[in-house]
A and B are shown apart, each in its own frame.
Chain A
């Protein structure tokens, strides 16, 4: 079956712009989590959605937001981009209920470069 699909794969934006990233989870998975990966800070949790509700949120400013649709697809948005937002953004999906029992499947990520 198809894995977690993230689009676009690469993105270049200018400071001050906003960006929207998309994630399609594995069919049947209802939980989607987002992570930011940078060389300095490593992998950091952004937020998690389950059945269109945000259940958990990491320590990121309000410029970072997300949503989940009824088909479990998720988007994350970053407004007023800063140079420090340049990172690999990873999406992970799971069945969601007692999620740790099922493990997380990650997508290949979206590489965002802010210039």
Chain B
């Protein structure tokens, strides 16, 4: 079985500062990796995904993530955050055999202060 650990439950940051949200996973087989964002009272929006190939993945809204197989990590980064990035962020993994099933981390609440 696979599991996901998001290392920070809350991350406060000032506007225009860089941010990194950390995600580690555990799996005995190859995984696909995702980052989702959730705004209050809304569903999840896909930010980016790693399926194969280049370990640096670029997503929407200026976010990027790097897959590190040796450290089993998939950290999310943004060089300069905006107030509108305030939301909860979820890291998720899926294996090839688990149809439709994403295993999510517990989420990281990113709060951007002016």
Contact = CB atoms under 8 A, between A and B. Distances in A.
Interface string A6-42: 1000000000000000000000000111010000001
Contacts of B104: 42-43
B51 A48 contact: no
B7 to A, nearest CB: 15
Main secondary structure of the interface of A (DSSP, over half): strand
A64 interface: no
Interface string A29-69: 00111010000001101011110000110100000000000
Given A43-B90, A106-B45, A50 B51 contact: no
B101 A50 contact: no
Interface residues of B, number: 25
Interface residues of A, number: 30
Contacts of A105: 46
Contact of A56 (B41, B101, B105): B101
Interface stretch (B17-25, B65-73, B76-84, B91-99): B91-99
Contact of B102 (A45, A49, A50, A55): A45
A9 B36 CA distance: 21
Contacts of B44: 90, 92, 106
B4 to A, nearest CB: 10
B43 A48 contact: no
B40 to A, nearest CB: 11
Contacts of B92: 43
Interface of B: 32, 34, 36, 41-46, 49, 51, 90, 92, 94, 96, 98-107
Given A48-B99, A50-B100, A58-B101, 19 more contacts: A6-B43, A31-B100, A33-B101, A35-B102, A42-B107, A45-B102, A49-B100, A56-B100, A56-B101, A92-B100, A99-B99, A100-B49, A103-B34, A104-B46, A104-B102, A106-B44, A107-B43, A108-B42, A109-B43
What 3 pairs across the A-B complex have the smallest Cβ distances? A48-B100, A33-B100, A106-B43
